[in-house]
Amino acid sequence: MTQIEEVNYDQYRHLVSERAFTGETMLLNMGPQHPSTHGVLRLLLELDGETIVNAVPDIGYLHTGIEKNMEAKTYLKAEVMSDRLDYMNTVGNNLAYCLAVEKLVDLDVPPRAQAIRVILTELQRIASHLVWVGTFGLDLAAMSMFLYAFREREYILDILELCSGQRMMTTYIRPGGLWRDVPVEFETAVRDFIKMFPRRIDEYEALLTKNPLFLDRLLGIGVLDAATALQHGVTGPMLRASGVNWDLRKARPYMGYEQYDFDVPVRPEGDTYARYLVRIEEFRQSLRIVEQALNKLPMGPVRSDNRKFVPPPRSEIGVSMEALIHHFKLWTEGFSAPKGYVYSAVESPRGELGVYLEGDGGPKPHRVHWRTPSFDNLSVLPKIVKGHLVADLVAILASTDIVLGDIDR
Amino acid sequence: MDNKLEPVVKVLQEKFGATYEEFRGETHVFVTAEQIIEALTLLRDKYEFELLSALTAVDYYPQTSPRFHVIYQLSSLAKNVTVQLRVLVNGDQPKVPTASGVYEVANWREREIFDMFGIEFEGHPDPRRILMPEGTQGHPLRKDFPLGYEEPQFTFNFEEIDLRKPYAKE
């Protein structure tokens, strides 16, 4: 179907300086299989000795056409694809998608489901930052950090498995609530984690924060100022490390975030070390949110009782004709959303994760667009690596915390 | 409408004759392709919309005029409001001036729209595909682009399709 044409290299000439054509500077491909690119990212580097003159990111190696695929599925079935975007933040992706669907069809979520959603997304944020701090350490030759971080991440994945039966691709959050209530072991499991984890954060800090080798590699490297960050649409911890206090959980609270008391860590420096400090502090703040949400976890249903959008419980199907009809309709045809479009955004571990959802009156979305934070956070990379050494590029790229599934969709 | 947003919509109406609609608490303002750069510059400089949150497009095939909407989702951090600007684009030779001079994030986002919808951005500094391989034909997110690779075979055209159907070879 799709043919590939011969490529004309003239369209790439403007990406590198004139010196590359005289042989004065060297062109070097970093990736797509380089371990420090955290996925399949190719960076075309123009080097003057060891110094970077130009860096041209080349993305699309992981493009799976998720936006196109979602258009061909019903609202409920399309949710399964949302897990596969940012595979480090699967619960957060589900939440972003479900909030957009709920906004489009005007559906309420019971308070218990809201609190559980908050607990799980915050745990997922910790898990995502753990992968980040682990691979960040790995890239900077702190091998043990990786092992410690993955050890703790396993606790969180166990909690997700307890709720949904899946470690990663959970699809546990559904439009109108949750798939089912959490099991009785949930509270103990989360409390154990809350008790154990603060000491572990101190351990990471003891390993890294004041480590002279670590500081040498990070301080003053890859400085990003606030104005450039905003121009490039950078959000999340990267923006907050550049001195902008912007967190969607505070600015536009969703899922009852306004009830919880937490701070937004901000650092003015904008360098790689500031990004590290912001994320380490986010561990503690996320843990605070989880603890508060768990302490006041209300009882009650976890799914909306609007049967036009949310399937009835199994117990009703045997005794109620309407329930049976609703069940049948929802699982065959799916629910219809009105004609209209909404944009809804949540704060993912990487920044503003937005979903543009458009309904055409039928059971399938007309258009789903994912505004993924990694895409914009990567687009600023060529600016901040200029003039640094190749070894610094590894540190800067690791500090941006990109996920290629999130970029390429 | 959010009362912090009212002066913004009002000035867009007066200056550009823009129309607006509201849905689920969101405000969508329609401007033309010729005015979009001026409108974005005005919103960025005078009304503190520092962040272009999202930039995307929608295809309304088989409708041809307008066939596409290009969507600019703007956020103001200082005032904590959002507004959506929409530009209507016709189906034959769709063209919009580039916003990458106003918001640099538009550079990559416009490349993505060009890649996925084939909408050309005039004056774009780096007009290449971004996600699909170089030299790909067609634009995948257009509604007339087939989703699957395989053509469905029916009794009347089974053999015709069978002739050109690729099979796994040993």
Q: For residues A46 and A26, is the Cβ–Cβ distance under 8 A?
A: yes
pLDDT at position B170, please? 47
pLDDT at position A44, please? 87
CA distance B110 to B112: 5
Mean pLDDT (chain B) is: 86
Q: Exposed, middle or buried, A8 (CB in 10 Å: 0-12/13-18/19+)?
A: exposed
Comparing CA positions, the residue from A248, A291, A247, A240 lying closest to residue A269 is: A240
pLDDT at position A334, please? 87
ipTM above 0.95, yes or no: no
Residue A212 tokens read as 């002279």
Point out which residues pair with B20 in neighbouring strands: B29
* Nearest residue of chain B to residue A103 (CA atoms): B24
Tell me the pLDDT tens digit for each residue of B4-53.
888 888 888 888 888 888 888 888 999 988 889 989 998 888 888 989 99
CA distance A357 to A365: 7
User: Do residue A376 and residue B146 have CB atoms under 8 angstroms apart?
Assistant: no
A387 part of a folded domain: no
Point out which residues pair with A303 in neighbouring strands: A177
Q: Which structural domain range is residue A230 located in? A: 66-302+337-370
Does the CB of A10 have a partner CB in chain B at under 8 Å? no
Comparing CA positions, the residue from A333, A330, A335 lying closest to residue A317 is: A330
Q: Where are the alpha helices (DSSP H) in A23-141?
A: 66-71, 75-82, 90-105, 111-139
In this complex, the residue of B24, B52, B80 whose CB is nearest that of residue A233 is B52
Q: State which residues of chain A have pLDDT below 70.
A: 1-9
Half-sphere exposure (Cβ direction) of A328: Cα atoms closer than 13 Å: 8
Residue A14 tokens read as 């403007």
B24: alpha, beta or left? (left if phi > 0; alpha if psi -120 to 50):
left
pLDDT at position B136, please? 76
Residue A398 one-letter amino acid: A
pLDDT at position A124, please? 93
Total domain count, chain A: 1
A191 part of a folded domain: yes
CATH number at residue A205: 1.10.645.10
User: Do residue B24 and residue A103 have CB atoms under 8 angstroms apart?
Assistant: yes
DSSP single-letter state for residue B28: E
Give the B window 108-137 contacts with A, CB below 8 Å: 108-109, 116, 125-126, 128-137
**Residue among B83, B131, B142, B150 with most chain A CBs within 10 A, to mutate:** B131
pLDDT at position B92, please? 85
Which residue's structure tokens are 């940012």?
A: A86
User: Do residue B53 and residue A371 have CB atoms under 8 angstroms apart?
Assistant: yes
pLDDT at position B169, please? 47
Model confidence band, residue B147 (pLDDT cutoffs 50, 70, 90): confident
Q: Could you state, in order of their start, the residue ranges of all structural domains in chain B?
A: 6-137
What distances in angstroms separate CA B86 from CA A341, A376, B40, one per listed residue? 12, 21, 11
Q: For residues A366 and B58, is the Cβ–Cβ distance under 8 A?
A: yes
Q: For residues A368 and A78, is the Cβ–Cβ distance under 8 A?
A: yes
pLDDT at position A1, please? 47
Tell me the pLDDT tens digit for each residue of A67-86.
988 998 899 899 999 988 88
Comparing CA positions, the residue from A119, A72, A79 lying closest to residue A96 is: A79
pLDDT at position B126, please? 86
Q: For residues B57 and B68, is the Cβ–Cβ distance under 8 A?
A: yes
Class of domain B6-137: alpha beta
Residue A3 tokens read as 């043919």
pLDDT at position B132, please? 85
